[in-house]
Structure 1
Amino acid sequence: MSASTTNQPASAGLSANPSPAASPSVSVQATGERADLLAALAQARHFLRYTTRDLTDEQAAMRTTASELCLGGLIKHVARCEENTARFIVEGPSAMAPGDVAGWMELFRMQPGETLAGLLEAYAEVARRTDELVVSLPDLDATQPLPEAPWFEPGARWSARLAILHIVAETTQHAGHADIIRESLDGAKTMG
């Protein structure tokens, strides 16, 4: 991530009307179910990234609602969640084990020196690696046990497929949060 902060809008490769298929993460080829999973991921990522179009770093760091969320923080949080969930598919429960709460809360805010362009670039790299994983997995039915945490059912396991669907759901949920934050910021909407 870049150490400098700028007042310039950080479109980070987003055109005025980018298509989900033009996502910077879509660089792998797949067919069938894997293509469907990648298409769902690309669309969810597109809507999240699109909410940050034409914003400065300062705007991306602003809290515009009663929540602690800001657009840059959401990009950072979703990237980390995607990265951890993709690691879970390969490494198992240690990749998603609960960490310290203070560090977790920092994921929802832009820190000094972080830029929107840097956060979007890091997110695109995470997305690229996840997409490559989806294509290369030998078996979408392979399971891993979930870590012990209050938000997981004790003894539950997730297949690789379910973990990928979790990334889609997480990204989609936060794209909705981002849309509310952006509309509160300057009236811009992702859709409509």
Structure 2
Amino acid sequence: MTVNEPATSDHAGTPAGSGERADLLAMLAKTRHFLRLTTRDLTDEQAGRRTTASELCLGGLIKHVTLTERNWANFIVEGPSAMGDATAMTEADWAAWAGQFRMLPGETLAGVLAGYAEVARRTDELVTGLPDLDVTWPLPKAPWFEAGARWSARRALMHIIAETAQHAGHADIIRESLDGAKSMG
């Protein structure tokens, strides 16, 4: 696959081709699959239900991963301005941020999953079209980032994969607590 070719699939969700970009996209497709799998056969009410001591619910996790992937994909293209300055967030900003971890009135699981699919499609197109995975940007201002650190497009993509995998594990625990169903293990 060349840099400008679109990603195609050998089978559901797995990018065709070879090389680093195909490997990154294949791993991302796998982690996305496991996250989405945790929501199979659920109602909107079930997707919004907390089942552990955590504030997290399955629909909220999908929303969070969607926002996270969108922000990091935007970072790859635009740099730190795409993500804002966390050190300047107000109490109201943090309250709004917390809304991404739960299903809000009027939200549906189908809508949340559709939003995630659209972000995934855009990220996949970005990865296949990037001229260089080594281009770096300084990280945005946030207490959880090392001051002055820079991340490459490759590292941001690996972060998206790690975030998705971590939250797929969280989702599996929430789903098992909800009705005993398992997606992994």
TM-score w.r.t. length of structure 2: 0.88
Aligned partners of 1:74, 1:58: CA distance in 2, in Å?
14
Contact 1:30 1:135 in 2 (8 A): no
Residue in structure 2 matched with residue 103 of structure 1 by the alignment: 96
Partners of 2:17 and 2:96 lie apart in 1 by 36
Q: Secondary structure at the match of 2:101?
A: coil
1:84-104 CA-partner distances (Å, limit 9, x unpaired) = 000000011022222521111
Contiguous gaps of at least 5 residues in structure 2 = 1-9
Match of 1:32 in 2: 19
Answer yes or no: is 1:112 the counterpart of 2:102: no
How far residue 148 of structure 1 moved from its aligned partner, in angstroms, is: 1.3
Find 1:150's aligned residue among 126, 138, 143.
Answer: 143
Counterpart of 1:32, as a letter, is G
- 1:79 matched to 2:66? The reply is yes
Matched, 1:131 2:124: yes
CA distance in 2, matches of 1:73, 1:52: 11
Query: Percent identity of the aligned residues?
Result: 74
Q: What is the RMSD computed on CA atoms of the aligned residues?
A: 1.5
CA 1:142 to 1:30, structure 2 compared with 1: closer, same or farther past 3 Å? Answer: farther
Aligned AA (2:165) = T
Quickly say closer, same or farther: Cα 1:44–1:62, change in 2 above 3 A: same
Quick one: distance in 2 between partners of 1:169 and 1:34?
16
Q: Give the length in aligned residue pairs.
A: 170
Q: Which residue of 2 aligns with 1:186?
A: 179
When the two structures are superposed, what TM-score results if normalisation uses the length of structure 1?
A: 0.85
Alignment partner of 1:176 is 2:169: yes
8 A Cα contact 1:21 1:42, kept in partner? no
Aligned amino acid, residue 169 of structure 2? G
